Amino acid sequence: MKNADTKKIVWGGLFTALTTVATLITFPVPSPNGYVNAGDALVIVSAFLLNPLWGAIAAGLGSALSDVFLGYFIYAPATLVIKALMALAAGAILRKFKDKNPLLSAVLGSVAAELIMISGYFAYESVIYSVEGAIGALAGNCFQGVFGAAAGTVLFFALIRIPYVKKNF
């Protein structure tokens, strides 16, 4: 294995763990069909610092693991897919437009990711509960989306001010 491949695996594993831990140690606010947490901030940061593929792997696995650890087994498969898609979209948008306007591309990537989260969970909950049940969870998902987009974007810009992070990501 090459040194670059090893670094990708290590950083992917680290962000998987950070995403899981951020979701587990935050103060979950129960919503009708799940919980609101700060894990989305790490989904966004994973997408922005790692390439979109590695960000998707870390975000999907880390978030799905937190569902399993918290007892929301029914959500784990959907979370794996939804959070991976979030990171793919956010990372792709940032990479495509960051040279033109880094702040705007980060905000757009974050918002796109959270719209994927809101619509993805709405679709999943419509199937497993009902449309009415999914509507009941919209407020919590929207709150989580706004917080995740804002916190993830701010955390990303704080991290890239660190010389090591700026040089290596």
Nearest partner of 36 among 28, 46, 47, judged by Cα? 28
Summarize the confidence of residues 125-139 as an average pLDDT: 92
> pLDDT (tens digit, 9 = 90+) per residue, 15-65?
999 999 999 887 666 666 566 788 999 999 999 999 999 999 999 999 999
Domains in the chain, please, with CATH? 3-168 (1.10.1760.20)
Asked if pLDDT for residue 106 goes beyond 70, the answer is: yes
Asked if pLDDT for residue 98 goes beyond 90, the answer is: no
How does the average pLDDT of the chain come out, rounded? 92
pLDDT at 33: 59
- In sequence order, the β-bridge partners of residue 26 are none
Burial of 65 (0-12, 13-18, 19+ CB in 10 A): buried
